Amino acid sequence: MERTERVMLWIGGVVMAVFFVAVVVLAAGFGVDVPGCITEMKPFERDTLFQRTDGRYELHVVARMWAYQMPPVELPAGSEVDLYLSSGDVLHGFHIDRTNVNLMAIPGTVAYARVRFKEPGDYPIICHEYCGVGHQQMVGVIRIVQ
């Protein structure tokens, strides 16, 4: 092996190590979390919102052509929401603007994400997966108040 090849292999290894450390630091230090798909929970048919503890809520949303079936959501700033998403018909998207929540509503499964709403205001929800002729009307909102 030539010296240049060895040097390039070392540089590649160091760059990969730096990226790995960056991913670990972001995941542990900044709470970056990858949304998951829950396999042990049966898909639900009804939307619900309830308070689990002080400042912590659980929201169940059912996506159907062409609306999100969800209760009116008005929560205080600083609330942490465990979000469970299911689909009643076809594939839908679920993106909450100004957050990192970006889920797929897949029929027969439940998607999960946890989000904290720090700032008051309206957080629009949009479908980012083409789901039929009414796709562009598929919106919702989460209202956060002081």
Contact 70, 49 (CB under 8 A): yes
At its nearest, how many Å lie between Cu ion and the CB of residue 138?
Answer: 5
Q: Which is nearer to Cu ion, 93 or 117 (CB)?
A: 93
Q: Whose Cβ is closer to Cu ion: residue 114's or residue 135's? A: 135
Angle among Cα 85, 52, 143 to the nearest 5 degrees reads 60
Q: How far is the CB of 19 from Cu ion (least distance, A)?
A: 34
Measured from the CB atom, the residue of 79 and 87 that comes closer to Cu ion is 87
Residues making contact with Cu ion (CB under 5 A): 127, 131, 135, 138
Of 69 and 120, CB closest to Cu ion: 69
Q: What is the C-alpha to C-alpha distance for residues 138 and 62, in angstroms, rounded to an integer? A: 12
Q: How far apart are CB 96 and Cu ion at their closest, in Å?
A: 15
Q: Which of 81, 86, 88 is nearest to 142 (CA)?
A: 81
The secondary structure of 34-70 as a DSSP string is --EEESSSPPPSS-EEEEEETTEEEEEEEEETTEEE-
Least gap, CB of 21 to Cu ion (angstroms): 38
